[in-house]
Every structure is written in structure tokens, then in C-alpha cells.
Amino acid sequence: MKRVPMRATHILAAVAVALGGAITVAAPAAAVTAGVPDGTTLTPSGSLTITEDGTVIDGLDVHGNIHIKADDVTIMNTRVTYGGNHSIRVDSDVENAQILHSTVNCENPKKTNGITFGNYYAEGVAIEGCRHDFMSSEKSPAVVVDSTVDGVPYELNAGQLGESVLPEPAPGPESGRDGFPTAETTGVPDGVRLTDSGGLTITEPGTVVEGMHIRGTVTIAADDVTIRNSLIETGTPQYPVKVEKGVTGALIENVEIDNQDGTGIGVFFKGAGTLRGADIHSAEDGIRIEADNVTVEDTYIHDLFRQPGGHHDALQIRKGDNITIRGNNFQAYRAATDDPMNAAIQIGSLLGDDPISNLVVEDNLFNGGNFTINGGKGIVDSARYSRNQFGPNYRYGAVGNLADASRWDDSNVWQGTDTPVR
């Protein structure tokens, strides 16, 4: 990420939030000027994932989302226009995130959130047309001053400023409808017009497929391919979407994948890529990973289709290093038939002799399975499970066969409670 010199105007060097009670909203100011300052020249940009500490984003026109994964990040004089789940997302383990004199335009008011989920400082920010605007919680507070929501002045915890640093890391998404992905907050955004297409095999690097109704399978056989805002329907017994071995940089974003009660695997990663904001259903299995460098986030897997003798998993990992599973809702349990299926995450049937390393599973909601998470004891040499919530609809337990090398802490709790799972 290119680092742009910071304009040292009006920036607080340090902010503290010391909350002794519930979140409070201060009385709005009589008049507030928020958003990108008039006369600012903006440079077009796509989605950004920020991984370098101290990055400053200044003067961009972002058509996509911004995901902050590093400390001391500042976004200023920037406009973000997005129709997915979270326009600006601040990871729960970062510090000193600041959003200043910027505008967030949500293209889907039924789905798109402004700034999530807390643990940031916002000043002079205009939020327009969002499902939720400045998200915050008691455990993961945000400070908002001199800002607006749909043109109305807005402040949050403005009286809590101090001389320290931003609050402790966020605990991750809150349980229930407003926190974890659902059918309403994933898949094709409302208002997107779809163009009919047959199945696709993509061999040109950098191809972008957007706004398509694909009746058939999609095979990604080139680097840096994007599939976005599309509906994929196929009863294939194989893979509605497949990322071929050796491919890098695949992005599958805001798609609905309907296997039409087939025996397929919704998304099969044999190559590297990111799945974000997907709604996957009516398949035998949701996702299978057999590759390094795969991320699955903000995705909803539900209503798997029972096959005789089937071994149904929302997600199965058979090999791969550097896999991140974050902010998802994996419902292995199918309520209509009271069927727990096999697992929300199944780690097993290792391919080759290289154990799975650097697996990160955080901020998810899991439910169902014989064991909701079957942890792959003996084939995992490093994994971390944090801030996940678990539903009650398993057959034997919430977690089983956890590898000795897997870090599991008390932040993994029963849904909607602070009670540790183990």
C-alpha cells in the first residue's frame, strides 16, 4: 500500500474511550460540515485491504470497500461507495484506526453498513444511505464527533475523549441478525440487474465478471479474476465454482450460489483466492479448500442438501497454509429437517503429508454438525480460534478432535452469551 503524506490538520494524535456503562449518544450540534471537503481532488480506486501499519489513505474515490487490518491507519478526505456488507471494516485486533473528513455512500440500504464493528475514531465523516451507520458496542466502542448520518448531525461517545489510545480490540461481530451474515446481507445486492449467461471457463488474467445470471458452472483458470454481484445456478454434481490449482488472486464477491439440491461443492479452492459476501445453499457441501492463501469472510452457508450416505460440511479443509475464516455464518444444521449434517468446519482427509499451518478462525457464528468443528487432530500444526459463537444444534459437541497445536481461548462462547464453550 502506498503511503501518502498526512495533512496535519485537525487530527487528534491519541484518543481514549473509558466506558463505565452503556454506549451513549451526545446531543447533536446545531450545524455540522462533514464529508470530503469541497474542492478536494479524488483519485479513483477499487477495494483496499490495508495490512501495513501507519498507512494513510488520503484523497481517494473508492468504488468498493476498505478493510483495515493494520495499526495506526488513517483514512482521510476519501469517498467510499459500496453495495456489499461493510463499507469500512476495522478488524478487532487493530489499534488507532482513524476516519477523518470522509464520505461513505451505501448503495444498498437493506444490506450495506457504514463503518464496522467498532474500535475506531471518526471525525467529520458523512454516512449516507446505510443499513447501519457508525457501528459500536460497549466492549468495542467507537468515538464519533462532528459527523452526520443522512445529513443529520451525529456524535457518539464524544464526551469520552482522553489522552490515551483507542479502546481495546473489538470482540468481533455481535450475535443475531445485525451481526452475522444472512440471506438478506449476502449474495447479489438489491437493485443489480443481471444478464443471462451460460457456464464460464475463464482463462484471461484480470477478467471481471459482474452482474451475471450464470446457469452453469464457473471455472477460474487465470490469475486475478473477479466474479462479483452475480447469481450462479446449477445442479452439477461437481463444483458450481472452481478455482483451479496454481491460480492466485481470485476474488468471488457478493454472489449467490444455488446448487439446486445437487451433490456438488459450492466453491472449490484448489488455487488461492478470497470468497466474500457469498450466499451458498442447496449443495452437498458449501466450500472445500485444498490450497494455500485462501480467505473466506462475511459469507452465509445454509440449507445443505442431504444425500443418502452424505458427509455434509459447510466447509472442509483438506490441505493448505495461511487460511483465514472470518466473520461468517456457517449453518450446518438444517432447521426444516432437524438435520445437524456433519460439521460447520471439517478438517480431515489430509492430501499429502504437509500439515495445515496458520489457520485463523475468528468472529464467526457456527451451528450444527456431529461436532460443529472437527479440528483435525494430528494434521494441523498451527491454528487459532477466537471470538467465535456456537449454536446448540450439534449431535455430539461444539468441538472435537482439536489439534494440540490449535490455540483455543475463552472468547469462543455459546451464541449470545459470555459462557465459554470449553
Residue 47 lies in a domain: yes
Q: Domain ends where: 171, 186, 218?
A: 171
The CATH number covering residue 369 comes to 2.160.20.10
For residues 201 and 114, state if they share a domain: no
Residue 422 lies in a domain: no
Shared domain for 203 and 131, answered yes or no, is no
- Tell me, yes or no, whether 207 and 328 share the same domain: yes
Residue 396 has pLDDT above 90, yes or no: yes
Same domain, 126 and 225: no
- Counting the structural domains of the chain, the total is 2
Q: How far apart are CA 286 and CA 309, in angstroms?
A: 17
Is the bond preceding 268 in cis, omega lying within 30 degrees of 0? no
Residue 164 has pLDDT above 90, yes or no: no
Residues 281, 145 within the same domain: no
* Domain annotation covers residue 226: yes
Whole-angstrom CA distances from 382 to 61, 358, 377 are: 39, 5, 11
Instruction: Answer whether residue 17 shows pLDDT above 60.
Output: no
Give the range of the structural domain holding residue 51, as residue numbers without chain letter. 1-171
Name the least confident of 78-87, 219-228, 303-312, 332-341. Answer: 303-312
Shared domain for 72 and 135, answered yes or no, is yes
Q: What is the enclosing helix (H) or strand (E) of 316?
A: strand 313-319
One domain for residues 273 and 332: yes
Per-residue pLDDT tens over the stretch 229-273:
999 999 999 999 999 999 999 999 999 999 999 999 999 999 999
Q: Euclidean distance between the first and final Cα of the chain, in Å? A: 40
Task: Indicate the pTM of the whole model.
Answer: 0.62
Considering the domain architecture, whether residues 77 and 152 belong to the same structural domain is answered as: yes
Q: Give SS3 for 50.
A: strand
CB atoms within 10 A of CB 309: 5
293 & 406 share domain:
yes
Same domain, 141 and 259: no
Residue 270 lies in a domain: yes
pLDDT band at 31 (very low <50, low <70, confident <90, very high): low
Q: Which residue has the higher pLDDT, 29 or 184?
A: 184
Any idea which of 17-26, 219-228, 257-266 has the lowest mean pLDDT? 17-26
Distances (CA, A) of 39 to 29, 36, 59, 217: 24, 9, 11, 47
Grid cell at residue 52: 501495513
Q: What percent of the chain has pLDDT over 90?
A: 70
263 forms bridges with which residues in the sheet?
A: none
Distance CA 347, CA 376 (A): 5
Same domain, 120 and 247: no
Rg, the chain, Cα only: 21
What is the distance between the alpha carbons of residues 144 and 166, in angstroms, rounded to a whole number?
A: 12
The answer as to whether 297 is a domain residue is: yes
Q: Which of 171-175, 237-241, 345-349 has the highest mean pLDDT?
A: 237-241
Residues 243 and 132 in one domain: no
The answer to whether residue 184 sits within a structural domain is no
- The string of pLDDT tens digits covering residues 381-393 is 999 999 999 999 9
On whether residue 205 sits in a domain, the answer given is yes
- Segment 95-145, tens digit of pLDDT: 899 999 999 999 998 889 999 988 899 999 999 999 889 988 776 789 999
Instruction: Give the three-state DSSP class for 207.
Output: coil
Q: Is 331 a residue whose pLDDT tops 90?
A: yes
In a domain, 83, yes or no: yes
